[in-house]
Structure 1
């Protein structure tokens, strides 16, 4: 199962061997300075947005890989029935959102707390994820 780790000044999404094969990538690394907001989504399906571009989706089992939408791309490693740690990223990062399932709500909360403490410039104005921008509107 995918995990979110902090390695130095990098946020790392580490994938197990079969997830690497399905997602066609070894993992994801982004600078902690690119982290904008960290939230926990108890409903796994709310973390998914856009359409599958690369990776695999097995309904009722897993959604893994890159999903595209009007604001860019998200990387997801989500399993149904599990809470999801959602990491919103700044525009300079390769993805707009990283969404990774956790084994339990307690593990998801602990991961989110650890990321909030490690990232230098977290936006704490709201505890919720922000909606995607509407095409034609400015941020």
Structure 2
């Protein structure tokens, strides 16, 4: 199972070997300065947004890899029935959201607290993840 850890000034997601193969992606490393908000989610399907870019998704079993949407890309490693640590990243980061499953609710909450303590600029204005940006409307040239 993928693990999320604070290593120095970075937040690192280290998928297990089989997860790296399924995700077609290696470790994910982002600077802690890019972390905007950290939440714990209990419903796995709320974290899966956009369309699969790379990786594997077997509904009811596992979703791991990158997903693309109008706001950018997310990296997810989720399993239904497990609590999830969701880390929102600032627009300057290569990804918009990191999601990793934890074994228990208490482990997810402890990890979220550790990331919040380590990140220098956490947005605590709301305890919920923010919605994706809405793409701008364009005028219909036909009428």
TM-score range, shorter chain: over 0.9
Aligned residues: 137
Q: Say whether residues 1:7 and 2:7 are aligned partners.
A: yes
User: Does residue 22 in structure 1 map to residue 27 in structure 2?
Assistant: no
Unpaired runs of 5+ residues, structure 1, are: none
How far 1:27 sits from its partner (Å)?
A: 1.1
Please say which structure displays the higher CA radius of gyration: 2
Q: What TM-score, normalized by structure 2, do the two folds share?
A: 0.94
Q: Which SS does the other structure have where 1:13 is aligned?
A: strand
**Structure 2 residue matching 1:114: 3-state secondary structure:** helix
- TM-score normalized with structure 1 length: 0.96
Q: CA deviation at 1:26?
A: 1.7
Which residues of structure 2 form unaligned runs of 5+? 138-143
Residues 24-39 of structure 1 mapped to structure 2, 5 A cutoff? 24-39=24-39
Q: Which runs of 4+ in 1 moved over 2 A?
A: none
For 1:105-124, list aligned pairs within 5 A: 105-124=105-124
2:135 alignment counterpart: 135
